[in-house]
Structure 1
Amino acid sequence: MLENIEVSRVKRFAANTAGRDFAVGDIHGHFTRLQTALDAAGFDPAIDRLFSVGDLVDRGPECRAVIDWLAKPWFHPVRGNHDDYVVRFDTCDVDNWVYNGGSWFAGLAWDEQREFAVQFRDIPIAIEVETAGGLIGILHADCPFPSWDQLRTELEAPESNKRLKLVQNSCMWSRSRIQDADSSGVAGIRALVVGHTPLRQPAVLGNVYHIDTAGWMGGHFTLLDLASLKCTPPINPSLSYDWE
């Protein structure tokens, strides 16, 4: 089992005064497709930043390329449930992981598996980004609390390891907000950006932006400009947001 190393669960970023900040939905080992979407948006790695809602690996053909992407100074992900499998590779339900796209990892040598786990352990659960319009929060799946301040407290100063595990699992796995069409939103931030649930097009519920438009399985990668909260490509009003 990997040693217990303390890592930051909430990572903060100051406003980008030189370029643009984008968020993108689940990647799942399709980095070439992602790069194509960035090129189409005129992404400039010298001044722009890309924030990922996680699920960097599994299911796609380029999972090992994630190491190169994690080294890019402008690429900043949160941890998705598939990324958490990598962190817990020596204790998780391997059969379930392989069934859900983890066979690429099962084929690696143990030393290489451990190196992936060490790098993925540094990926935070939550990201905060300052913008001119206010603070943006980024999680993989959902915020299980009515306010961002409460989530931050729960992640940074948990009352117990059991409580922390429950909160982290909700952040990485919950679909209750999108399934219930809950538009109550999250207080204390301008917007929350999440993925996890594949949709035909982005869905906005209150101030929560669901942007996994299945670029990894035949859809397209949506890039959300964190300053304007506008999507590239733009939302098509003729489509429902349900993925069928």
Structure 2
Amino acid sequence: MHKTQSFSPNKIGRDFIVGDIHGHFKLLELLLKKSSFDGSVDRIFSVGDLIDRGPDSIDVMVWLQKPWFHAVRGNHEQMVIDCVSGNGDIARHSRNGGAWFYKLSPIFQQTLSDALQNLPLIIEVELTDGRKIGIVHAETPLTHNNDTWQSAKDAITGQFGEPHQRLALEKALYARRKIESLDEVLIQGIDQVYVGHSTVPSVMYLGNTIYIDTGCSFDDGALTLIELTTQTHTNISMQAMQ
């Protein structure tokens, strides 16, 4: 099941987006406190990779049940889905921070996999100033020349057929072409696209694509939170936690 999800403007509070959490939910809690986050009116969106590497991955189920927390699926979520379905590489997942998962009971593994599979591949958020913000884990999944944001959404949901859907899924979860080539070309049909996956030393802009995975799973990294309307950046470094 590959889907997209859209959100109307938040007229009573603020909207935030956070980089790859990688099992550091206690760090996220500190970051929300630092930002005076109010769950009764505010919302937080995640670029995926909620799990693996950090100490609190098991808490992902608690966070997914919070009505103000919304995430796209990342490649680490996809590794869980693939391994539970029998199509993945358990040794590879374990080497990449997923060993914790295989200590869980098979029933809980399936429950967690089902929850992760329900995550959208793309989220679109309309802001109160009229701008539209896109969220995808690795890179906007453009599968044709002159593709737009709408084309990427259509590819993910299978409108162009299964081969293009598979290609779009791969790009959405794993691609690094744009950042590796420092491609400044704008994604048409959307004001800004926030992505994670590729670790950057600080928030990085390529055209209207914004990379916000500042590497909280590494000793010299940080977890970054951005308020979408004001573009205010807040972060906590891993060194500050030691």
The TM-score with structure 2 as length reference comes to 0.90
- 8 Å Cα contact 2:154/2:160 also seen in 1: no
114, 118, 136: which is aligned to 2:114? 118
SS in 1 for 2:167: helix
Name 1:211's counterpart in structure 2.
Answer: 212
1:138 aligns with 2:106: no
Name 2:70's counterpart in structure 1.
Answer: 76
Q: Give the Cα separation in 1 of the matches to 2:87 and 2:149.
A: 30
Moved more, 99-108 or 149-158: 149-158
Give, in angstroms, the shift of residue 113 of structure 1: 0.7
SS in 1 for 2:223: coil
- 8 Å Cα contact 2:19/2:48 also seen in 1: yes
- 8 Å Cα contact 2:43/2:69 also seen in 1: yes
Name 1:228's counterpart in structure 2.
Answer: 230
89, 94, 97: which is aligned to 1:98? 94
The TM-score with structure 1 as length reference comes to 0.89
SS in 1 for 2:222: coil
Name 2:240's counterpart in structure 1.
Answer: none
Name 1:4's counterpart in structure 2.
Answer: none
- 8 Å Cα contact 2:4/2:120 also seen in 1: yes
1:27 aligns with 2:29: no
Give, in angstroms, the shift of residue 8 of structure 1: 5.7
Long gaps (5+) in structure 1: 1-6, 234-244
Counterpart amino acid of residue 224 in structure 1: I
Name 1:191's counterpart in structure 2.
Answer: 192
Name 1:201's counterpart in structure 2.
Answer: 202
Q: Give the Cα separation in 2 of the matches to 1:33 and 1:56.
A: 12
- 8 Å Cα contact 2:157/2:165 also seen in 1: no
Name 2:148's counterpart in structure 1.
Answer: 147
- The number of equivalent residue pairs is 228
SS in 1 for 2:124: strand
- 8 Å Cα contact 1:133/1:190 also seen in 2: no
Q: What is the aligned-residue RMSD (CA, Å)?
A: 1.5
Q: Give the Cα separation in 1 of the matches to 2:125 and 2:138.
A: 17
Name 2:11's counterpart in structure 1.
Answer: 17
Matched residues, percent identical? Answer: 37
Matches within 5 A, 1:162-173: 162-173=163-174
Q: Give the Cα separation in 1 of the matches to 2:22 and 2:223.
A: 11
54, 60, 73: which is aligned to 1:60? 54
Counterpart amino acid of residue 73 in structure 1: P
Deviations 1:119-171 (A, max 9, x none): 11110000000012411000001013242011011122333333212111101
Q: Give the Cα separation in 2 of the matches to 1:162 and 1:86.
A: 22
Give, in angstroms, the shift of residue 108 of structure 1: 1.4
